[in-house]
Amino acid sequence: MKKLDETLQMLKDLTDAKGIPGNEREPREVMKKYITEYADEVTTDGLGSLVAKKVGLAEGPKIMVAGHLDEVGFMITQIDERGFLRFQTVGGWWSQVMLAQRVTIVTSKGDVTGVIGSKPPHILTPEARKKPVDIKDMFIDIGASSREEALEFGVKPGDQVVPYFEFTVMNNEKMLLAKAWDNRIGCAIAIDVLKQLKGTNHPNVVYGVGTVQEEIGLRGAKTASAYIQPDIGFAVDVGIAGDTPGVTEKEAQSKMGKGPQVILYDASMVSHKGLRDFVTNVADEMEIPYQFDAIAGGGTDAGAIHVTYNGVPALAITIATRYIHSHAAMLHRDDYENAVKLIVETIKRLDSETVNNIRFQ
């Protein structure tokens, strides 16, 4: 394998980390390792979200840049007498991407490998074969011969189950394949924003945040926002790439490599017009490519940030990503780097007067 540069190593460490909602300790420790050097203070809120504070002007506005630490996965709910594991999805899953996929059960005795199984199609009726398998009819096989053996392996109800996939740089080295881009790429953007602001003057206080439990209701963003009380909020996350076969521009218009997505509307919020216009004006001024998108289903942490405290102008800036909420997703490195550049250039211009003007747009 080709040696990874510093950025790719960080991305690998973040995506390799295992952390479904409520189990974010491992990715939080990775994010803390990388962001501490660029922060004046690193703390956590009571729910476990990481908050890295960097002071430019102490009395300036507070700017929150939030990616979420958690990834979609599963939780063990039962072990049957033959050693097969029943599970609950944690976060949104489409049943067709799950069968025969390798998973890792994180136990108190160490990691245990499993595979998601179901009845083989060979014994189903012709009618049943035409239908997707219901998630409730799936199980995880860890090669145990009994409940007792599964327990000896260390498996118990409540253990988190994480998709297994190795971080991969594709032949086109701009294309990066990994599990958990949703949303370790947002955590990476928050790290790099603080990194690029180190040693520069900025008229505000910046908070690089790794929130918890986004995939089950934007929960960490609520508590982290209450903790910080930001004046401006950015959620950095993944979005939908519309450049694969069968997808029309009407369904999803963004293309990988054409710049970060500025989200106009999603199920969690209408983006703040003043902030959105300010960000796109900065992008135009600096000739940073960007794309607009609207997502009728789903939301981001911006949806929780903007209704916290007494109301916060907020915007989601996302990376067009293929195959999210599956074992392996793909994104373009240029989009990631341009998202960092856009947020950094925006933050440099967010002084108190500008923030006050944005509020009333």
Residue 238 has pLDDT above 70, yes or no: yes
How far the first Cα of the chain sits from its last, in Å, is 51
- Residue-wise pLDDT tens digits, 150-172: 999 999 999 999 999 999 999 99
Residues involved in catalysis: 214
Give the pLDDT score at 264.
97
Which of 260, 216, 268 lies closest to 238 in space, CA to CA?
Answer: 260
Give the pLDDT score at 3.
85
Superfamily in which the 6-71+179-359 domain is placed by CATH = Zn peptidases (3.40.630.10)
* Most confident region among 124-133, 207-216, 295-304 by mean pLDDT: 207-216
What span, in angstroms and rounded, lies between the C-alpha atoms of 342 and 276?
Answer: 12
What span, in angstroms and rounded, lies between the C-alpha atoms of 254 and 322?
Answer: 11
Q: What angle do CA 92, 98, 100 make, to 5 degrees?
A: 165
> Quick one: CA torsion of 298, 209, 184, 340, rounded to 10 degrees?
100
Which of 170, 175, 199, 220 lies closest to 64 in space, CA to CA?
Answer: 220
CA 96 to chain centroid, in Å, comes to 21
Non-local CB neighbours of 249 within 8 Å, separated by 6+ positions = 242
What span, in angstroms and rounded, lies between the C-alpha atoms of 89 and 275?
Answer: 35
Give the pLDDT score at 232.
98
In DSSP terms, which residues pair with 158 in a beta bridge?
none
Going by pLDDT thresholds of 50, 70 and 90, the confidence category of residue 145 is very high
Going by pLDDT thresholds of 50, 70 and 90, the confidence category of residue 121 is confident
Q: How many CB atoms lie within 10 A of CB 29?
A: 14
Mean pLDDT over each residue of the chain, to the nearest integer: 96
Q: Which residues of 134-146 are buried (b: 16+ CB within 10 A; e: fewer)?
A: ebeebbbebebee
For 73-163, the fitting CATH number among 2.60.120.10, 3.30.565.10, 2.40.30.40, 3.60.20.10 is: 2.40.30.40
Give the pLDDT score at 360.
85
- The conformation of residue 323, written as its DSSP 8-state character, comes to S
Asked whether the beta carbons of 261 and 253 are under 8 A apart, the reply is no
Give the pLDDT score at 120.
82
Asked whether the beta carbons of 190 and 132 are under 8 A apart, the reply is no
Residue 321 has pLDDT above 90, yes or no: yes
Common-topology check for domains 6-71+179-359 and 73-163: no
State how far the alpha carbon of 24 is from the alpha carbons of 1, 208, 330, in Å: 28, 16, 22
Give the pLDDT score at 278.
98
- To the question of pTM greater than 0.85 for the whole model, the response is yes
- Residue-wise pLDDT tens digits, 245-301: 999 888 888 999 999 999 999 999 999 999 999 999 999 999 999 999 998 888 999
Q: What is the mean pLDDT of residues 237-244?
A: 94
Going by pLDDT thresholds of 50, 70 and 90, the confidence category of residue 1 is low
Domain extents for the chain? 6-71+179-359, 73-163
Angle between helices 25-35 and 181-197 (to 10 degrees): 20
Q: What angle do CA 158, 304, 42 make, to 5 degrees?
A: 75
Q: What is the mean pLDDT of residues 33-50?
A: 98
Which of 172, 195, 208, 223 lies closest to 334 in space, CA to CA?
Answer: 172
Residue 125 has pLDDT above 90, yes or no: no
Angle between helices 273-286 and 352-359 (to 10 degrees): 130
Give the pLDDT score at 183.
96
Per cent of the chain over pLDDT 70 is 100
* Structure token pair of residue 354: 């500008």
- Residue-wise pLDDT tens digits, 18-30: 999 999 999 999 9
